[in-house]
Amino acid sequence: MTDVEYPTAPAPSTAMQALDRLIGTWTVTGGAEGEVRYEWMPGRFFLLQHVRLDQGGHEVTGMEVIGHLRPFAEPAGEDIVSRFYDSAGNTLDYTYELDGDTLTIWAGPAGSPAYFRGTFTADGTSLDGEWTYPGGGGYASTMTRV
């Protein structure tokens, strides 16, 4: 058996580390009601979100994996992206951007016409924002740390 040397994994990006403020359990109110929970996957390269919401009378349960794409030990991609998997068999892709206290979650690539934009309170216990959809749709949403 030969010794195989594996490249040393880089440290998680500063942008990923900044999402640490999401860690924990949050109550969601507004156009969707329920609870979400964020936790780090070991290594802190990926953030996991567990979702249990009621949106317009429809139960939404699922899990989202958030991080930089880095296929087969290639350099990590610049954007923080995610894929959400729900109990109805849907997969949804998002792009995360955190600029100061403002979190934008684009539905699909950055710059998409569908997105969430919210602002954290100074004490980090609440994120208040709104989902915006093409054609003027959307809804207000507030996450409050439990």
Q: How do residues 98-108 score in pLDDT, each as one tens digit?
A: 999 999 999 99
State the burial class of residue 52 (Cβ atoms within 10 Å of its Cβ: 0-12, 13-18, 19+): middle
**Residue 8 resides in a domain:** no
Q: Check pLDDT > 90 for residue 27.
A: yes
CATH number at residue 30: 2.40.128.20
Domain count, the chain: 1
**Residue 64 resides in a domain:** yes
Mean pLDDT of the chain: 94
pLDDT tens digits, 126-146: 999 999 999 888 999 999 999
**Residue 1 resides in a domain:** no
**Residue 2 resides in a domain:** no
**Residue 71 resides in a domain:** yes
Stated pTM of the model: 0.91
**Residue 7 resides in a domain:** no
Q: Which domain holds residue 138?
A: 14-145
Q: What is the average pLDDT across 9-26?
A: 94
Q: Residue 138 has what pLDDT?
A: 94
- Is the distance from CB of 27 to CB of 146 less than 8 angstroms? yes
